[in-house]
Amino acid sequence: MKQEKPAAHKGRPREFDTEEALDKALHVFWRKGYEGTSLSDLTDAMGISRPSLYAAFGNKEELFRLALDRYAEHGPGAIQRQALSEPTARRVVERLLRGVAETLTDPCNPRGCLAVQGALSCGEAAEQVKAELCSRRSKSEAALAERFERAKQEGDLGKAVDPAALARFVVTITQGMSVQAAGGASRTDLLAVADMALLAWPSSA
C-alpha cells in the first residue's frame, strides 16, 4: 500500500516581526500623517513587500488603525490612562500635562501627537480616518470628564466646577502643546505651558 505524504503547509511563514514592523509603520504615520504616507513609504520603512503588508495588516486604513491602537496602548497615548490613576483630579492633570510635554519632545519620537496631527490635512478620501481620530479624541475627553465627575462627587473638586468643561479645557491645552511641539517648541517651553495651565486650576470651594 502506497504511503501518503504529509499535507504541505499552506502559504509561507512570515519572515518578519509583525510588532517591529507595526512600530515602524507607526513612526511613518506619525511623521507624515495618514494621507501624506504612501504605501511605498510604509513598505520601505517596514522592510516588507506590498503583498506581505496586505497579508499581515490589511490595507493602509486598517494598518493605520492598528498603529493607533499601538500608540494608545504602548506609546505616548498611554499617558492619559496612567494619569487617570492618580488620587486627585489636580494630580491627574499635572501628570498628564507633564507627561505630554516630555513625550512630545522625546528625541526618539517624531514631533507632535499622532492622534492630533494624523489627519489634520486629510481630504475627502480620508474622511473615515478623520472620523476615527475624532472619535478616539472624544473618548479620551469623556474619560477625563468621568474622572472629574467622580472627583466632584468625592469633594475633590468644587461644586461649581463643570467636569465636562474642565475636561475640554485640559484636552485643548494638550492639543495646543502638540501643535507647538510640531513647530519646534522645546520641552522647557511645553513644561512652562503645563505650569501656566495648572495656575488656572479651580479651587475646591
Segment 61-73, tens digit of pLDDT: 999 999 999 988 8
CA distance 97 to 145: 16
Instruction: Point out the domain boundary residue: 74, 89, 123.
Output: 74
Which domain range does residue 169 map to? Answer: 79-199
Which residues, in sequence order, are CB contacts of 146 under 8 Å at separation 6+?
163
Closest CA to 104 of 114, 95, 119: 114
pLDDT at 15: 66
Q: Comparing 11 with 140, which gets the higher pLDDT?
A: 140
CA distance 7 to 190: 60
CA distance 188 to 122: 31
pLDDT at 16 > cutoff 80 = no
pLDDT at 114: 85
Considering the domain architecture, whether residues 86 and 130 belong to the same structural domain is answered as yes
Please give the tally of structural domains in the chain.
Answer: 2
The answer to whether the CB of 181 falls within 8 A of the CB of 190 is yes
Lowest mean pLDDT of 118-127, 143-152, 157-166, name the range.
118-127
Residue 20 grid cell: 517591529
138: in domain: yes
CA distance 34 to 20: 19
pLDDT at 205: 56
Considering the domain architecture, whether residues 84 and 127 belong to the same structural domain is answered as yes
Which pTM does this prediction carry?
0.82
pLDDT band at 1; cut points 50, 70, 90: very low
* CATH code of 90's domain: 1.10.357.10
From the number of C-beta atoms within 10 Å of its C-beta (0-12, 13-18, 19+), residue 19 rates as exposed
pLDDT at 122: 60
Considering the domain architecture, whether residues 96 and 168 belong to the same structural domain is answered as yes
Q: Comparing 129 with 143, which gets the higher pLDDT?
A: 143
4: in domain: no
Considering the domain architecture, whether residues 95 and 151 belong to the same structural domain is answered as yes
CA distance 189 to 143: 27
84-128 confidence digits (pLDDT tens): 999 999 999 999 999 999 999 999 888 888 877 666 556 666 778
Give 1-43 as a 3 state SS string.
Answer: CCCCCCCCCCCCCCCCCHHHHHHHHHHHHHHHCCCCCCHHHHH
pLDDT band at 29; cut points 50, 70, 90: very high
pLDDT at 173 > cutoff 90 = yes
pLDDT at 14 > cutoff 90 = no
pLDDT at 4: 43
Can you give the length of the chain in residues? 205
**What percentage of the chain carries pLDDT values higher than 70?**
87
